[in-house]
């Protein structure tokens, strides 16, 4: 059989346009448990990785989360489980902003699930860095918190609506951001923030976000939460005006804080100051925010 005969009898392959495209997706998971002597258990599955930088005297044991995939897109999933035992303390935070890329037609949203379990008498903080939403990104994010007895927790999540430094705004896509907080098994706070499809139009609506390009939601849960409400309002009110807004309130013993800003960098500075004040007043942390959060 000649070369030409062999070539003509070879099996034919479908053209690229006829082939169903199947994209590889990530399914990452990290699990951390802190005991009175520090880290007690660790599990991590790529692309989730956890680093443990040295901390100054007086600081909580520190775990820094990072995603080695360089960002998330449609169908990607990451999950984080944090547990802090009775008598223990911990700081867990993101290493950098999480990037949420454009999602193709028909693809599922990127999923981020954070579950936090704080035991009676334990103190902890979860300080996530911003989620930067590219145009046409689709994000489903859930933060589920279980508190026991006198547990104390300071937690924050942030959103930036577009690659602002590149002159890009998020005009379409999906944002589904939900919080659930339970104390001793009882639901004490539930919040859901949803925008879909015409993001630009929803932001511009009278009940929307106005000129804001970034938003942060923070909570402090502890038996003394009500005592810190005046301080939180004072700090927020000092930095409002000229496109910067915010407020604080108390619901079922949970101190709730929300910041909006027309300048994403300014919101980060405002948030850093607010967190520094609250972590000292409520958690007894006189040390500055770790460098991974402030630089």
Q: What is the pLDDT along the chain (295 residues), one digit of tens a residue?
A: 443 454 445 555 455 444 445 677 899 999 999 999 999 999 999 999 999 999 999 999 999 999 999 999 999 999 999 999 999 999 999 999 999 999 998 899 999 999 999 999 999 999 999 999 999 999 999 999 999 999 999 999 999 999 888 889 999 999 999 999 999 999 999 999 999 999 999 988 888 898 999 999 999 999 999 999 999 999 999 999 999 999 999 999 999 999 999 999 999 999 999 999 999 999 999 989 998 888 7
User: Of 131, 260, 265, which Cα lies nearest the Cα of 203?
Assistant: 260
Number of H helices, E strands in the chain: 5, 17
**pTM for this structure?**
0.90
Dist. CA 61–CA 82, nearest whole Å: 13
Neighbours of 129 (CB within 10 A): 18
CA nearest to 96, candidates 145, 124, 132? 132
Distance separating alpha carbons of residues 68 and 96, to the nearest angstrom: 11
DSSP 240-261: -BTTEEEEEEEETTEEEEEEEE
**Whole-angstrom Cα distance, residue 131 to residue 214?**
10
Spatial contact of 199 and 175, defined as CB atoms under 8 Å apart: yes
Buried b (16+ CB within 10 A) or exposed e, 146-177: bbbebbbbbbbbbbbbbbbeeeeebebbbbbb
- Number of Cβ within 10 Å of residue 257's Cβ equals 23
């Amino acid at each position: 059989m000649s070369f030409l005969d062999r070539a003509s009898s070879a099996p034919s392959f479908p053209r690229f346009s006829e082939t169903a495209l199947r994209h590889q997706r990530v399914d990452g998971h990290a699990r951390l448990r802190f005991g009175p002597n520090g880290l007690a258990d660790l599990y991590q599955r790529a692309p989730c990785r956890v680093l443990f930088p040295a901390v100054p005297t007086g600081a909580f044991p520190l775990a820094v989360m990072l995603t080695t995939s360089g960002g998330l897109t449609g169908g990607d999933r990451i999950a984080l489980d944090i547990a802090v035992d009775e008598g223990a303390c911990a700081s867990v935070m993101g290493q950098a902003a999480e990037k949420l890329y454009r999602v193709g037609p028909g693809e599922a949203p990127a999923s981020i699930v954070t579950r936090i379990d704080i035991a009676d008498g334990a103190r902890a903080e979860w300080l996530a860095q911003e989620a930067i939403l590219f145009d046409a990104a689709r994000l489903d994010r859930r933060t589920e918190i279980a508190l026991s007895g006198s547990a104390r927790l300071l937690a924050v999540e942030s959103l930036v609506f577009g690659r602002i430094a590149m002159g890009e705004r998020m005009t379409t896509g999906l944002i589904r951001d939900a919080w659930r907080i339970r104390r001793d098994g009882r639901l004490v706070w539930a919040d859901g923030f949803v925008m879909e499809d015409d993001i630009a139009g929803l932001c511009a609506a009278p009940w929307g976000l106005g000129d804001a390009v970034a938003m942060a939601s923070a909570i402090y849960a502890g038996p003394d939460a009500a005592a810190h409400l005046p301080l939180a309002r004072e700090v927020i009110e000092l930095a409002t005006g000229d496109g910067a807004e915010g407020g604080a309130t108390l619901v079922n013993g949970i101190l709730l804080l929300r910041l909006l800003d027309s300048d994403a960098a300014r919101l980060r500075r405002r948030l850093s100051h607010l967190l520094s004040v609250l972590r000292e007043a409520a958690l007894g942390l006189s040390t500055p925010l770790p460098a991974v959060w402030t630089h």
